[in-house]
Structure 1
Amino acid sequence: MELSDADLTACCASRRWVAAVAGQQDLGALREISKRVLDELAWADVEEALAAHPRIGDRVGGGAREAGWSRGEQSGMDGAAKELRDALVEGNRAYEERFGHVFLICASGRTALEMLADLRERLGNDAETERKTVRRELAAIVDLRLVKLAEEAGESA
């Protein structure tokens, strides 16, 4: 499986992560190295990756691969009531004020109500606990996207 830097950046926008995993041909090895590298990234590199993620509930436009993935991952927001959407907007704002970055959650397969409940729960975390949680969520998202890349290339996960 031949992946470009653009392919990898669609999975994770941290330049350090892209450089560390570039050149991997085997999906299994790529996924394993990805998890290790994500665990070892400096927080500034994690923040670089976070900056590429939309807020939960924001509909990303455009035809780019990452935008399409984001829309699919957040499909649990489809049809959410206005009150629920408004609560997520307010929750996102409170989270960003508290932690200084976007609320990141692996949204695949989750409903808007589940994501709101997690957001509210995580607002109670201290900074260290939340950073660990963010790394776990980022790793889950990146792993899902790596598998999607492999599927697009006709590889099996």
Structure 2
Amino acid sequence: MSDGSAPGGWLAGFNAMPAGAAEAELRACCASSAFAARVAAGRPYAGVAALLDAAGAAVSGLEWPEVLQALAAHPRIGERARGPGREAAWSRREQAGAAGADARVLAELAAGNRAYEERFGHVYLVCATGLTAGEMLERLRARLGNDEDAERRVVREELAKITEIRLRRLAEETAA
């Protein structure tokens, strides 16, 4: 991937966008409005690496209600994201490992999702890119043993990974 800083590149366009438009682009990567406002306010970025660093710091700095806002935009693992938007398409692509799973694994994921939501009060979030349904299920089961503080740390880490992947994808898809 290009660093996006070449004249006319995605990053140059992103740096020049009005704040509201930049925030809308960022919310496609992490649905927290606080995240989007913080990262947009840090413009201009000299390169994609600087943008990714700022995004990682912004995710780490989110208050828990702001994390919950981001989580609300994610479908349950094993459930297909609906809608025509790029976020739904990205989610379907990220969870591709669950698409070919057998009925037993999908049923166990559904039961695990319910148990997780009952325990922690929010959707189970995992960076599913490259994982099989079985691997997602294995991670879900392991995380059910976490206490609240440990799980919140893991959720932030997973959200940061997903956000980085989506920011990279955004730069790649719109740079062409």
TM-score (norm 2): 0.85
SS at match of 2:76: coil
Given the superposition, is the C-alpha separation of residues 24 and 106 from structure 1 closer, same or farther in structure 2, using an over 3 Å criterion?
farther
- Partner of 1:151 in structure 2? 172
1:7-22 equivalence runs, <5 A = 7-22=25-40
Count of aligned residue pairs for this structure pair: 155
1:22-37 equivalence runs, <5 A = 22=40, 23-25=43-45, 26-37=47-58
- Partner of 1:96 in structure 2? 117
8 A Cα contact 2:76 2:124, kept in partner:
yes
* 2:31 partner letter: A
Q: Post-superposition shift, 1:110?
A: 0.1
Gaps of 5+ in 2: 1-10, 15-21
| Bigger radius of gyration | 2
8 A Cα contact 2:23 2:33, kept in partner:
no
Q: Post-superposition shift, 1:24?
A: 4.0
Aligned partners of 1:15 and 1:138: how far apart in 2? 14
Deviations 1:90-143 (A, max 9, x none): 000000000000000000000000000000000000000000000000000000
- 1:65 equivalenced with 2:86 (yes/no): yes
- Partner of 1:49 in structure 2? 70
Aligned partners of 2:160 and 2:44: how far apart in 1? 17
- Partner of 2:142 in structure 1? 121
Q: Provide the aligned C-alpha RMSD in A.
A: 1.2
Percent identity, aligned pairs only, is 52
Gaps of 5+ in 1: none
Aligned partners of 2:175 and 2:71: how far apart in 1? 28
* 2:58 partner letter: V
Deviations 1:67-110 (A, max 9, x none): 00000000001211111100000000000000000000000000
SS at match of 1:11: coil
Deviations 1:32-80 (A, max 9, x none): 0111111111111001100110000111122200000000000001211
SS at match of 2:175: coil
- Partner of 2:101 in structure 1? 80
* 1:21 partner letter: V
